[in-house]
């Protein structure tokens, strides 16, 4: 089964983004899982185009998008993406959007089609801090999540997809000692387990 896993480039004066560091560290293949890796630009609109193109080019069965969430202490599996871009933080072209829809005329939101409860249970079993999140924010992470789900929904693609946020790396937290962080090794272990659970559950569903 082909799994497209994406992470973002650094932004907001950061020199590293844990989301893509995790993606780079994943094996290309294990068992029946083939991982396609992609770094995503922190650019409104362009981020969606890049992932949709990669998803179609590689005929992905599953898309798992990853992003950093400053201030979160756990891996957070996102439940829903909403149709709004609204943030004080500029993208990497210095664009700031306030209350703009991700897709003009699109529905209010889309739910993840990953097995979010199973992922959380599996990560807890291997002692990794994790929880379900009901907000992916209103910046690029949510924008990408919404855009990809909209493409899948409107084109009726047989693809399961969703978004996972990860904490800062300890290196990033050095500048802000009160900001939670998690080791790269632990985050890699968590994302790998999320992939395995998704492949297992989604394969069962598709075979029914």
Catalytic residues: 78, 141, 165
* Count of residues in the chain: 208
State how far the Cα of 59 lies from the Cα of 157, in Å rounded to an integer. Answer: 10
Q: Maximum Cα–Cα distance for the chain, whole Å? A: 50
Alpha helices in the chain (DSSP H): 18-25, 46-57, 116-125, 140-154, 170-173, 184-207
Q: Which residues make Cβ contacts (< 8 Å) with residue 106, sequence separation at least 6?
A: 83, 146, 150
Nearest to 186 by CA among 172, 170, 203, 202: 170
């Amino acid at each position: 089964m082909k799994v497209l896993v994406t992470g973002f480039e650094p932004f907001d004066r950061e020199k590293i983004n844990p989301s893509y560091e995790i993606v780079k560290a994943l094996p290309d293949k294990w068992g029946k899982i083939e991982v396609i890796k992609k770094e995503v630009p922190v650019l409104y609109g362009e981020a969606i185009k890049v992932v949709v193109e990669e998803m179609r080019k590689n005929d992905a069965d599953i898309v798992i998008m990853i992003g950093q969430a400053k201030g979160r202490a756990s891996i957070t599996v996102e439940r829903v993406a909403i149709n709004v871009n609204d943030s004080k933080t500029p993208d990497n072209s210095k664009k700031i959007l306030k209350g703009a829809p991700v897709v003009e005329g699109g529905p209010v939101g889309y739910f993840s089609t990953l097995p979010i409860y199973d992922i959380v249970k599996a990560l807890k079993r291997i002692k990794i801090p994790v929880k379900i999140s009901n907000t992916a924010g209103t910046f690029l992470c949510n924008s990408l999540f919404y855009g990809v789900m909209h493409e899948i929904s409107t084109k009726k693609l047989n693809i399961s997809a969703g978004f996972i946020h990860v904490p800062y790396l300890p290196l990033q937290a050095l500048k802000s000692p009160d900001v939670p962080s998690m080791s790269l090794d632990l985050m890699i272990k968590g994302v790998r387990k999320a992939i395995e659970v998704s492949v297992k559950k989604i394969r069962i569903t598709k075979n029914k």
